[in-house]
Amino acid sequence: MFKHYFELVDNVAIYPIISLTIFFLFFIGLGIHVMRMKTKHIEELEQLPLGDDDIQPSNPSMP
């Protein structure tokens, strides 16, 4: 049906190469970024789920 449209794309073979390059560079970048993240910031982030326990209301009918 729509394969006709893809046939019109010039040099379509270059797309896989481009995407591989994007992937590769992205992961290199991601790796470097993660290595360089400040430990203090990381600690802040990983505490996010744990912070809200103090706002659990106490229930008067609790045993």
Partner 1 sequence: MITQEKTTENAHTKPVLEQFAYDNKIVRAFMIATTVFGIVGMSVGLLAAIQLFYPLFNFETSFLSFGRIRPLHTNAVIFAFVGNAIFAGVYHSMPRLLKAPMFSKTLSWIHFWGWQLIILAAAITLPLGFTSGKEYAELEWPIDIAITVIWVVFGWNMIGTVLKRRERHMYVAIWFYLASFVTVAVLHVVNSFELPIALFKSYSAYAGVQDALVQWWYGHNAVAFFLTTPFLGLMYYYLPKAANRPVYSYRLSIIHFWSLIFIYIWAGPHHLLYTSLPDWAQSLGTVFSIMLIAPSWGGMLNGLLTLRGAWDKVREDPVLKFMVVAVTAYGMATFEGPMLSLKNVNAISHFTDWTIAHVHVGGLGWNGFLTFGMLYWLVPKMWGTKLFSVKLANTHFWMGTLGIIFYALPLYWAGFTQSLMWKEFTGDGFLQYPNFLQTVTQIIPMYVMRAIGGAIYLGGVFVMVYNLWKTAAQGKFIAEEKAEAPALKKNVRVTGGHWHSVLERKPVLFTVLSFVAILIGGLIEMVPTFLIQSNVPTIAAVKPYTPLELEGRDLYIREGCVNCHSQMVRPFRSEVERYGEYSKAGEFVYDHPFLWGSKRTGPDLHRVGGGEYGNSWHYKHMYDPTTMSPGSIMPPYPWLLKNDYDKEGIKKKITAMRTLGVPYPAGYEEQAVKDMEQQAQAIVADLKKDKIETQPDREIVALIAYLQRLGTDIKEKETPSEAEATVTE
Determine, following the binding rule CB under 8 A, whether residue 14 of this chain makes contact with partner 1: no
CA dist 21 and 55 (Å) reads 47
Determine, following the binding rule CB under 8 A, whether residue 43 of this chain makes contact with partner 1: yes
Torsion of CA 52, 57, 62, 63, to 10 degrees: 50
Determine, following the binding rule CB under 8 A, whether residue 40 of this chain makes contact with partner 1: no
CA dist 7 and 15 (Å) reads 14
Determine, following the binding rule CB under 8 A, whether residue 10 of this chain makes contact with partner 1: no
- List the one residue from 14, 19, 25, 28 that touches partner 1 (CB under 8 A): 19
CB of 8 vs partner 1, minimal distance in Å:
10
